Structure formats: structure tokens, C-alpha cells
């Protein structure tokens, strides 16, 4: 049995299927972790969604910011914009069941035996992994409940940027969502930065990548994440970054986590179609 992880698919169904073949993934034997953002920007969000659902218990996916945007659009809490490409999901005859499947995905997953955490964007340096998991459960409970549409109406916004233990419920949930699904850089004074998305070295001098601002206690866990296409593939003792920008003409990347193995990539054209050999 091999545990694989794959970066942001973003509606690139053809590249996703090709990568599964190159990995020789076998759902009866292997397991697959997906870092979120299954949908949007690519040409076939519905195809990706159906493929992952068909994998059943062999695949685990956390929620990314584009997945939450899909839920918000389905709830009427946010309008789709001109660059969104998940209308095929919303227009599907079984759209309600598809949306219910999405809103029951975890926001964060941790494997205590392997000491690996799966999350879309990262974990803020001020939190221990246990804290991040507890705050994620609050969001997951909201999304799975009968009032999930109302909860999504309060989800959007870029404040607060600074964590405090006395934040009210709405601000606490918004900070949690922004940290776990949108974060790239961190202000060492203790604030999220949600404006800068370029590669390390392009940011203002007061910012550092969130994983370089972490306390030493975080090193007990290995964090697998995506979201940051300008960062590209990074593999260190403490983190694995997997968003290599397939939809932007980069690649879709998969990597064996356990047992550890080299990355496998499907090179893509802009728009997410695989380059032909």
C-alpha cells in the first residue's frame, strides 16, 4: 500500500486521470490525499468531482478556497464571477448531492501515526496542530449543519488578520478559514498577509512564508499543502508543497508520502490540458 498526495487539480480532469495512471494508483490497495481546490479555473470541474467521488474511501480531500467558493455560490452567499468554471457542477442533475458531498469534506486532516497533516494553505505559526484541528472542526460542523448557507454568508472578508483568543464566533471562523485556505505569508508580528502571492523573495521585507515563521514545536508534524502555485514543489523535513500550477501551464504533481518516493508530474498547457509526449 502506498499513500500518495496530489496538488491542486482545479478542474483539470484529463491531467488528473493521466497522473493517476502514471502513479499506477490502485484504489483497492493504495490511498490518495488531495490538498483541495478540486474545482475552478480548469475545463472540467464536474469530471474531477465525479472521479474523486468514484474513488470512494481510497481518496481523502480537504477543502480549499475554490471549493468553499463553490459552496458559497451554491448557497447564494456569493456570486460566481467571469473566471469561475464550476458552473458544470451547479448545473448537474445531481448538483444537490454533489454539493452535499463537498460540504462534508474536512478542512484539515491529521494522521497521528504518520505525524502528517493535510491542509490546503497551511497552519498559522501561532497555532499548534492540535489547535488548528480544533478550530477546523468548528468550521466543518457549521458546513455539515442545517444552517450551513447562513454560515457561508458570514465567511467572506479579510479581517481579522490578527488572532486573539477573545475573537467572537464570526471573526474566529473567518480567521480560521482564511488561515487554512488562503494563507501564504505571515507577518512575524503575528498577522496574516492575504495580499501577496508571488514566490519567496518577491514579498515585502516584513513578511516571511508561513512555514518559515513556525515555532520549533511544529517540527513534530509534517505538513502537506497546496494553494501557492508561485511557490511550486517544495519538499523539506517539515513541509511538502504540491501546487505546481497545472491550470496555468505548469504541472500537476503527485508524490508518494508513505513509503516516501520521488515526485511524479504531468506537464500541462495553459488551461490545464496535458502536454502530449
The partner residues of 265 in beta bridges, in order of sequence, read 253
Identify whether 227 is a catalytic site residue: no
Q: How would residue 157 be classed by pLDDT, with cut points 50, 70 and 90? A: confident
Asked whether 36 and 181 are in contact (CB, 8 A), the reply is yes
Catalytic hit among 66, 120, 222, 227: 66
Q: How would residue 77 be classed by pLDDT, with cut points 50, 70 and 90? A: confident
> Over pLDDT 70: what percentage of the chain?
98
Q: What is the pLDDT of residues 244-257, one digit of tens each?
A: 999 999 999 999 99
Instruction: Kindly tell me if the per-residue pLDDT of 12 is higher than 60.
Output: yes
Write down the pLDDT at residue 277: 65
Q: How would residue 156 be classed by pLDDT, with cut points 50, 70 and 90? A: confident
Q: Strands 222-225 and 239-241, how do they pair?
A: parallel
Instruction: Kindly tell me if the per-residue pLDDT of 273 is higher than 60.
Output: yes
Write down the pLDDT at residue 126: 92
Q: How would residue 215 be classed by pLDDT, with cut points 50, 70 and 90? A: low
| pLDDT mean over 18-26 | 97
Rg (CA), the chain: 18
pTM of the entire structure? Answer: 0.96
Q: How would residue 188 be classed by pLDDT, with cut points 50, 70 and 90? A: confident
Report the helix count and the strand count for the chain, using DSSP H and E.
Answer: 8, 13
CA–CA gap between residue 36 and residue 189 (Å, rounded): 29
Domains in the chain, start-ordered, CATH in brackets?
3-267 (3.60.21.10)
Amino acid at each position: 500500500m502506498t499513500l500518495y498526495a496530489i496538488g491542486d487539480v482545479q478542474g483539470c480532469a484529463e491531467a488528473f486521470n493521466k497522473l493517476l495512471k502514471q502513479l499506477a494508483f490502485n484504489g483497492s490497495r493504495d490511498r490518495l490525499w488531495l490538498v483541495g481546490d478540486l474545482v475552478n479555473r480548469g475545463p472540467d470541474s464536474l469530471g474531477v468531482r465525479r472521479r474523486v467521488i468514484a474513488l470512494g474511501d481510497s481518496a481523502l480531500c480537504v477543502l480549499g478556497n475554490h471549493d468553499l467558493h463553490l459552496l458559497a455560490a451554491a448557497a447564494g452567499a456569493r456570486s460566481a464571477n467571469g473566471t469561475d468554471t464550476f458552473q458544470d457542477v451547479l448545473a448537474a442533475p445531481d448538483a444537490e448531492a454533489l454539493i452535499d458531498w463537498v460540504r462534508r469534506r474536512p478542512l484539515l486532516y491529521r494522521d497521528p501515526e504518520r505525524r502528517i497533516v493535510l491542509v490546503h494553505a497551511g497552519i498559522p505559526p501561532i497555532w499548534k496542530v492540535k489547535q488548528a484541528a480544533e478550530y477546523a472542526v468548528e468550521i466543518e460542523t457549521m458546513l455539515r449543519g442545517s444552517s450551513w448557507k447562513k454560515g457561508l454568508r458570514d465567511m467572506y472578508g479579510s479581517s481579522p488578520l490578527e488572532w486573539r483568543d477573545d475573537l467572537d464566533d464570526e471573526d474566529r471562523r473567518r480567521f480560521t478559514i482564511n488561515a487554512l485556505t488562503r494563507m501564504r505569508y505571515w507577518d512575524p508580528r503575528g498577522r496574516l498577509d492575504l495580499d501577496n502571492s508571488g514566490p519567496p523573495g518577491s514579498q515585502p521585507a516584513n513578511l516571511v512564508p508561513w512555514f518559515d515563521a513556525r515555532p520549533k514545536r511544529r517540527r513534530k508534524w509534517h505538513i502537506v499543502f497546496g494553494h501557492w502555485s508561485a511557490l511550486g514543489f517544495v519538499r523539506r523535513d517539515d513541509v511538502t508543497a504540491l501546487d505546481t500550477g497545472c491550470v496555468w501551464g505548469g504541472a500537476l504533481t503527485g508524490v508518494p508520502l508513505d513509503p516516501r518516493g520521488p515526485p511524479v508530474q504531468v506537464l500541462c498547457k495553459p488551461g490545464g490540458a496535458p502536454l502530449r509526449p
